[in-house]
A and B are shown apart, each in its own frame.
Chain A
Amino acid sequence: MKLQILSIFIATIFTHNIALTYLLGMCPFISLSRSLKTAWGMGLSVIFVVTLTGALNWIIYHWILVPTQSELISYIVFIIVIAASVQLLEMILEKFLPGLQVSFGIFLPLITVNCVVLAVSLFMVIRDYNFIQTVVFAFGSAVGWTLAITIVAAIKEKLSLSGDVPKGLQGAGITMVIAGIVALTFLGFAGMVAIQ
């Protein structure tokens, strides 16, 4: 059991990285990887929101939707839960931690449309995870996503100092080339662990 949870955690970061193998969360990946600082800020907010909504959605799905046989509307419920928790988080931050709100504030509304958040909830249903597995999976996926975006952002920062990027490839294009190379290296982790 413990081993299985550990292997889910390692898999979500290295072998089954949600950004680099499932290609999810690409919109913020492309627009926010300009600097290491923004990438890191977005990453931290994603870790928090994904873990929170993964757990909430598991509880709602298994305690409310399954008993009432309304799995049909699960997509709607998931996205409302995500939107609501992001809103709530924003309000809490504003009230109690105004300092943090200034640095995270710009990222929070963007998280609702970050597909990583919804994807974690959908994967947890498809793979039939229990509660602990879901939390570990959600946390690991977000950490993996953060790892990927910070690596890419770091490379881009270096590149902006030295490299000449051809016109047309600047911005989104070069980000994808870098992400592709990083994804290629992550393929080397394949087979390290297996997940259900």
Chain B
Amino acid sequence: MPIKFKKLLYVKSVRIIIDRLWRDNPIFSMCLGVCSALAVTNKVENAIAMGVGVTFVLVASSVIISFLRKLISSRIRMIIYMVTISTFVIVVDRLLKAFFPSISEAIGPYIGLIITNCLIMGRADAFAIKNEVRYSALDGLASGIGYSYTLIIISIIREVLAFGSVLGMKVTPEWWTNWVVMAMAPGAFFVLSIFLWITRNMAKIQPEK
């Protein structure tokens, strides 16, 4: 590896991005936000909407909390996190209802449940409260993207197996029989656990730096 590139790996912002996307990935490494990873991944479009929603809330709340971090006393920090997060969740909910009513109906209450998505609370308490605004924003964005791409991969597997399609477009040959249980709860558990198994093994192969 060229020395220049190696040096880059020690720059804080680059480190944050790489870690959140791979080694500290919210879902398969930290096991945060698993509810939505299981519940809304039966179709790719739902997973994309959920990923965008969570990323937006994550970045916005990280920025606000990091901006106010010197003013928030530790006694009331939980309630501040919750009020901030729920405000942005309501914003996402309203925007979805206004511009993507069909997706809003499909994922219904799970949008409101972004509030209790431990990923957002976790990043706020583990990172945003201690770090500068720009790093917090980056951490929020990288965690959000790490979360979204995992969701999208899982949803592609499930939608192909369950409906033979991706984003509603048929991708499987004629003889394919839809494996409907994949769209239901048991399928979610099985796909996510196998995904976890593979990615965790792969992430181990990465040399520890």
Contacts and interface: CB of A to CB of B under 8 A. Distances in A.
**Is there direct touching of A and B in the complex, by C-beta distance under 8 Å?**
yes
Interface of A: 20-27, 30-31, 72-73, 75-76, 79-80, 83, 112-115, 117-119, 122-123, 126, 166-169, 172-177, 179-181, 183-184, 187
8 closest A-B pairs by beta carbon, nearest first, are A180-B189, A176-B193, A168-B200, A23-B39, A23-B38, A115-B116, A184-B186, A168-B201
Interface residues of B, number: 42
B86 interface: yes
29 contacts: A21-B184, A21-B185, A22-B185, A23-B185, A23-B188, A26-B34, A27-B32, A27-B118, A30-B31, A30-B34, A76-B82, A76-B83, A76-B87, A79-B82, A79-B115, A118-B113, A122-B113, A167-B201, A168-B197, A172-B196, A173-B197, A173-B200, A176-B192, A177-B190, A180-B186, A183-B186, A183-B189, A184-B186, A187-B184
Contacts of B31: 27, 30-31, 172
A98 B39 CA distance: 38
Contacts of A180: 185-190, 193
Given A119-B109, A177-B190, A187-B184, 15 more contacts: A22-B185, A23-B38, A23-B188, A25-B35, A26-B35, A27-B33, A27-B34, A80-B82, A83-B79, A113-B116, A122-B112, A168-B204, A176-B189, A180-B188, A183-B189
B122 to A, nearest CB: 9
Given A115-B113, A187-B184, A75 B201 contact: no
Nearest to A114: B116
A27 B35 CA distance: 7
A113 B204 CA distance: 29
Contacts of B32: 27
Contact of A26 (B38, B82, B115): B38
A183 B189 CA distance: 9
